[in-house]
Amino acid sequence: MSGTAPEMLILCGPSCVGKDPLLAALRRVHPELPFAQPIVHASRRPRPGERDGVDFWFRSADAIRAYDPACFFVYPLRDQWRAIDWQDVDDKLAADGRLVVQLSPLVVAPFRAHLRLAARRVTALLLQPLSVAEALAMAAHNGRSPEDVVGELMLAKQVQRAHALGQALDPATLADLRTRAAATWAEMQPRPGFDHVLVNHDAEGSPHWACTPPPGDAGATVAALARLLAGDI
């Protein structure tokens, strides 16, 4: 896909890696690269300020699992279920010409292989909170597994984000944060279906995202994503 502007960008990465602030910064810094996003169906609880039908369609796990596979791409995400409405994808591509889809890294290959995307120009980007090499070096230095080292790093960021959002850290929320953090190592691995990998040390909660343009890794990631959407890489 190098040198070709994609119709659809699949943006993936572990929870709290910075996908949402990255897209918000891209809209501010590069208004010449407009894009739409499908409204994903999710079985998790809404966070403070999230609205049904705007941020997500919040539905039960049983309801999502019962969706017609001819109409929805349904997939598990850690202890949750998610779904993408193919009609929503088609409608927004027709109206806007460019779509960004956030997706679990574990299901990129089957999503891309779906017949509904056969004629589409699709590229997939994996966003990592640190490189695999960095994680392995940290683990070796501390005499621990990379899963544990990366999980602890991301759990701290998860808690920071929850505080910033005003989430109550009740047992259910803490259990969800631990599940997300524990999945980081598996979700940051490059695998078939990805065209690009970017390391972004400025996860959600970094003050860099509030600047226009953002400094540090946040700004470098915004610039790289803009080049990718423009077909320059």
Helix (H, G, I), strand (E, B) or coil at 76: strand
Domain ranges of the chain: 8-38+97-230
Question: 10 Å Cβ neighbour count for 9?
Answer: 24
As a whole number of angstroms, the distance between CA 69 and CA 71 comes to 5
As a whole number of angstroms, the distance between CA 185 and CA 142 comes to 16
Band (164; pLDDT cuts 50, 70, 90): confident
pLDDT tens string 24-54: 999 999 999 999 999 999 999 998 899 999 9
DSSP codes of every residue in 120-187: S-EEEEEEESS-HHHHHHHHHHHTS-HHHHHHHHHHHHHHHHHHHHT----HHHHHHHHHHHHTHHHH
pLDDT tens string 118-137: 999 999 999 999 999 999 99
Helix (H, G, I), strand (E, B) or coil at 10: strand
As a whole number of angstroms, the distance between CA 230 and CA 224 comes to 10
DSSP codes of every residue in 79-123: TEEEEEEHHHHHHHHHHHS-EEEE--GGGHHHHHTSGGGTTS-EE
Which among 16, 71, 19, 17 has a CA at the least distance from the CA of 41?
Answer: 71
pLDDT tens string 5-16: 999 999 999 999
Residue type, 100: V
Average pLDDT over the chain reads: 94
pLDDT tens string 98-112: 999 999 999 999 999
Question: 10 Å Cβ neighbour count for 3?
Answer: 7
57 has which bridge partners?
41
CATH code, residues 8-38+97-230: 3.40.50.300
The structure's pTM equals 0.93
* Alpha-carbon distances, residue 80 vs 27, 45, 134 (angstroms): 29, 10, 29
Tell me the three-class secondary structure of 189-228, residue by residue.
CCCCCCCEEEECCCCCCCHHHHCCCCCHHHHHHHHHHHHH
As a whole number of angstroms, the distance between CA 28 and CA 37 comes to 16
Please provide residue 149's backbone torsions phi and psi, each rounded to the nearest 5 degrees.
-65, -50
- Tell me what the mean pLDDT of segment 141-153 comes to: 96
